[in-house]
Chain A
Amino acid sequence: MNAIRRRFQPEQIRELVLLLLIVGIVLFFGTQIENYFSARTFNRISTSVAVIAVVAVGQTLVVLTRNIDLSVGSIVGFTAYVVGTQLTQHNELAPLTVVLMAVGVGAVLGAINGIIVAYGRVPAIITTLGTLAIYRTILVQISGANSVVTNELPQWLIDVPRINVWSFGDLDIRFLFMLAIVVVIVFQLVVSYLPWGRRLYAIGSNPDAARIAGFPAQRIVFMAFVMSGALAGLAGFMFLARFGNITVVAGQGIELESVAAVVVGGVSTNGGIGSPFGAFLGAILIDVLQNSLIRWLAISEFWRDALLGLLILLAVATDTVIMNRLRKLWVPHELQISDSTAVKQGGVDHAG
């Protein structure tokens, strides 16, 4: 037991639990639904999860610092539309330029959020609630009610969602899914090993302590918003490639889906706990459950959101209960006792 305690933290076990949960759910539905273990199921879920996973990774970085980014849906729509119109006017643009443009536009919008939150000291929920409306308004104004349509886009972009990186029999690892996985791995490494990544946790766990310890807290939070915007921009490109037709309402609601993925993936809204990999698992869990439940119960598509709401609640509730148990296991016995006496006396915990 002690060896396990030293080896793992409760938070890592949480990710393991999520992974096991996903496997368990897939196995369960495999016995319930005919032809469930088909390449089609896998391909459908993997393509639909890719866009939201990329946004969720960016959202994780922001939520780790005890902030929130509600403007990502508008950023996805904004970049998808702007990049789409550029492509219809300049069909000859190179793919890499297009991706960089999308990431750049997203990063600029994220930087605006970051400046207002980190340097203007406006709470993140107020800032991004405002920019959620503002970015969408700008998009509506510049679009003049036109849409991007698929047949004006260059052929290579339309082919992007169908590119296979690998195929095992019928099972395809699509390019967009691969891109999402790369993003998850890169940012998992960043938050695990780079000083900037570690400091995200420090700031989220205790902003005051981080400031006193001399971390450039403002710059780190600012960069978290820039990254979130940049990733939302990348997701905007993926959105454009996947759907082709982009109207001014594109991407609406992605902010909520990304927060849902992050929360189900075990990232705490109080900051300091969670990881990009967890958020990725959260996005997969939500998508798998939604897709499977609708097929299993043979209910209409209209149940999707009702189920999603319930799933988020149950996931977070089990998490709250289980994680509290687990954390108690990790705290040495004597500390627990002094902890509870401290609480009874109404004093602060000096037992450390």
Chain B
Amino acid sequence: MLANLTKALRRWEGLLLLLLILVVAFNAARTPGYLTVNNWVNMFELSIEKIIVALIMTFIIINAEIDLSVASVMGFSACLMGYLFSTGMPMPAALAAGLSAGVLAGLFNSFWIGIVGMPSLVVTLAGLIGFRGLAYVLLEDRSIGDFPQWFDNLGQQPLIGPIPFAMILFFVMLVLAIIILQYSGFGRYVYVIGNKKEVARYAGVKVERTKMILFVASSTIAAVAGLLYAARLGAVRGDLANGFELDIITMVLLGGVSIFGGTGSLYGVLLSILIILNLRNGMSLANWSGHMQTGVIGVLLILSVLIPNLAGNAQAILRRRRAVSSQPTPSTQ
């Protein structure tokens, strides 16, 4: 029993679960009304766009790639929607245009990554700058609001019981993502490519096609998230979702996904999302500023990799010592 427990804790997910329980217990003890449904819905709602994008980012990082452009694509598609709406286009058409902007952005990224063969870090860095630039080109320094009531309601009102539309969408996508990544053939490909691209290629996996599918999906989902964010805010501006990519990548990496690809799981990412949400919520309730919260999450991100490394070092040293002391006659080789 105890051996099982320590074994579970050694695994990343076990450690995250322990951390989550600690954070929740601490918050619940400090703040009355913390464990209410309303607070939890509120907690999810405040970061819902980020955690939706974190799901697809998990695929991409396990694939040993990175997509830095997601936040800019969110801003670009929402701004395009806002711009077209302000020129008099009906709302559904403007939304469709915003969504197709996301698909096009994804095709653009995957062209350079999959066909030209450039590193995704460079391509999506250019995308991070360029798509944000396009958002500013469209709206300059204006802000566009006064969307139809149904659109604002979609982002601001609960749909079923206390739960808003975006949150339902997140849980549906979460189930789909778990099925695809952890239990389907495509998911296996994602892991295999992330482990060793060359080996995957020789084994007949269509490496480029898999990557291109992922990057198109990433930008498309980012566009959906951007439009949801616009609905929640009720207005769009050029700097919408600026800097979100860092939070999103932090969620994935804290979840135990290696930046070098091939390892990690959506379960870990889900736990890390819950930890970050609860931590931020607790810090907000304690009146800590947004900057302070970002700093704390930065520390957590570094520690999440540093501590296991140091623990591994310490273990290796201990094992060496034990090996030396258990030998009665130390041989000199």
Residues on B with C-beta less than 8 A from A309 are: 126-133
Closest chain-B Cβ to A66's Cβ sits at a distance in Å of 11
Compute how far the CA of A263 lies from the CA of B122 in the bound complex, rounded to whole angstroms: 8
Chain A residues 221 to 276 lying within 8 A of chain B, measured CB to CB, are 256, 259-260, 263, 269-270
Asked whether B202 is an interface residue with its Cβ less than 8 Å from the other chain, the reply is yes
Asked whether A141 is an interface residue with its Cβ less than 8 Å from the other chain, the reply is yes
Compute how far the CA of A307 lies from the CA of B122 in the bound complex, rounded to whole angstroms: 15
Compute how far the CA of A316 lies from the CA of B130 in the bound complex, rounded to whole angstroms: 15
In contact, B132 and A305 (Cβ under 8 angstroms): yes
Residues on B with C-beta less than 8 A from A140 are: 289, 291-292
Knowing A123-B260, A309-B129, A313-B112, the reply to whether A137 touches B302 (Cβ < 8 A) is no
In contact, A310 and B130 (Cβ under 8 angstroms): yes
Residues on A with C-beta less than 8 A from B118 are: 313, 316-317, 320
Interface segment, B5-13, B92-100, B293-301? B293-301
Q: How many residues of A sit at the interface, in one of the four size bands?
A: 35 or more
Asked whether A96 is an interface residue with its Cβ less than 8 Å from the other chain, the reply is no
The B interface, classified by DSSP as helix, strand, loop or mixed, is: helix
Asked whether B310 is an interface residue with its Cβ less than 8 Å from the other chain, the reply is yes
Cβ-closest chain A residue relative to B302: A130
Closest chain-B Cβ to A260's Cβ sits at a distance in Å of 7
Cβ-closest chain A residue relative to B313: A121
Asked whether A120 is an interface residue with its Cβ less than 8 Å from the other chain, the reply is yes
In contact, B125 and A122 (Cβ under 8 angstroms): no
Asked whether A116 is an interface residue with its Cβ less than 8 Å from the other chain, the reply is yes
Residues on A with C-beta less than 8 A from B117 are: 320
Residues on A with C-beta less than 8 A from B122 are: 263, 269, 312-313, 316
Closest chain-B Cβ to A215's Cβ sits at a distance in Å of 20
Residues on A with C-beta less than 8 A from B291 are: 136-137, 140-141
Closest chain-A Cβ to B279's Cβ sits at a distance in Å of 14
Residues on B with C-beta less than 8 A from A305 are: 129-130, 132-133, 136
Known pairs A126-B259, A131-B302, A133-B246 / 16 extra A-B pairs, C-beta < 8 Å: A120-B306, A120-B310, A125-B66, A126-B253, A129-B298, A134-B295, A256-B125, A263-B125, A302-B140, A304-B133, A310-B126, A312-B126, A313-B118, A313-B123, A316-B118, A317-B112
User: A residues bordering B, Cβ < 8 Å?
Assistant: 116, 120-123, 125-127, 129-134, 136-138, 140-141, 256, 259-260, 263, 269-270, 300, 302-310, 312-313, 316-317, 320-321, 346
User: B residues bordering A, Cβ < 8 Å?
Assistant: 66, 112, 116-119, 121-123, 125-134, 136-137, 140, 202, 246, 249-250, 253, 259-260, 289, 291-292, 294-299, 301-302, 305-306, 309-310
